[in-house]
A = this chain, B = another copy of it.
Amino acid sequence: MKTSVYRKEHFNAAHRLYNKSWDDEKNERVFGKCSNPNFHGHNYELIVKLTGDVHPETGYVYDMKKLSDLIRDKVTNRFDHKNLNLDTEEFRDLNPTAENIARVIYDLLRGEIDGGLDLKITLYETERNYVEYPA
């Protein structure tokens, strides 16, 4: 049977929900106050889950120190204290919903981690709204 390990990190960012192919009126109708043209923001809590075998020599699925460093280098340094819409190439043309941010983080990390380990991303936008990818 396999074991999962989880590492929790965080970043703070501004964003605006916005579909470029719609006019402002439709963006506001669909996204409400989340589409404020001047942006709002969140403390994002990010949980990275890896699932695999426990290595018999270390007793680790993955070294949590290395995972923490990897998340910092590939994810939180990129998004922390940024405006997701304006400051990042990932969301220049992609609506920064929690669902899309989680998938982007998955794609940023997937290539960095041994393919024998399953990867799952959980992202809290607020304490009461969060997402998981893949389900």
Chain A residues in the interface with B (C-beta under 8 A): 1-10, 12-15, 17, 19, 21, 30-34, 36, 38-43, 51, 54, 57-61, 64-65, 80-83, 86-87, 94-100, 102-103, 118, 126-135
Contacts and interface: CB of A to CB of B under 8 A. Distances in A.
Contacts of A133: 1, 3-4
Contacts of A40: 12-14, 41, 80-83
B3 A59 contact: no
A14 B14 contact: yes
Nearest to A34: B81
Contacts of A126: 10, 12, 43
Given A65-B32, A132-B3, A39 B14 contact: yes
Nearest to A6: B130
A8 B59 CA distance: 24
Contact of A103 (B8, B21, B54): B54
Contacts of A4: 131-133, 135
Given A7-B129, A128-B7, A14 B41 contact: yes
A99 B1 contact: no
